[in-house]
Structure 1
Amino acid sequence: MTKEEILQLSEKACKNTLMETLGIEFVDAGEDYMIAKMPVTSKVHQPDGVLHGGASVVLAESVGSMASYVFLNTEEFFIRGIEISANHLKSVREGFVYARASFIHRGRTTQLWEIRITDEADNLISLVKLTTIALPKEKK
């Protein structure tokens, strides 16, 4: 799949989902990585006006799961996140955050991703580890 095809597929998959609600947009993809961005507005703030850690985790799981979806044979499998852990290192109040998902392990059944969330100045905001699983679709 070309980068353009991956990004079109990702955009289509986000319609009427939490990703669309939060303004998550997939912006780049390569052979073993995918990047998404999310605007930091009051929609994703915690009460004191900074990016909510839960919104960061949604961004991370979205980009990691989408990367598994486009890099694996999803005609035969569907993808689910099975474990996620996040360390939030820095606060951000506005602008955009970017999540880059890179493979740590690319197995047939399980995939392990490192997702680095950075701000527009490339400061590390959160470091996330996501495990996804490819489950076989039922044969009809």
Structure 2
Amino acid sequence: MEARIDAIFNNEYLQFIRQHNGAEIRNGYYDISEQISSYVRYFIEIEDIANDISLMADDEISQYFFPFAIGSGGTYFLMKKKGDACIYYYDSDYMGHDAISKIAQSFNTFMNNIKSDTEIRIEGTHKVVQVTTGKP
């Protein structure tokens, strides 16, 4: 797949693919910013990445990035094909570089920041407090 999409996968992602090659996440969401969250619905199987690049229909982004996970509402989580190991969020309401935001420095950081919807965000005027419910 790396040759097919002209990419070099980073080691953290390769380890994940070797173990899971796609996975569905139940009730996992990711805080994109203080105002925006997106559910991480599933990780794309390696053999489907090229197809998902074409489904994005954004030539500017697909030239440099590939999707590895699907978010809610037609959003994607991306990695650069070559270069840094950062994770990016793609908002399909926009096109080109206006559609992406850097959200994590690495794949493992991204994975560690996926939250369960049992974590309730209580928003006040000055702070956000995380409260975890349910059994540990």
**TM-score band, normalised by shorter chain:** under 0.3
Question: Could you say which structure has the larger radius of gyration?
Answer: 2
| Structure with the higher fraction of residues in strand conformation | 1
TM-score calculated relative to the size of structure 2: 0.27
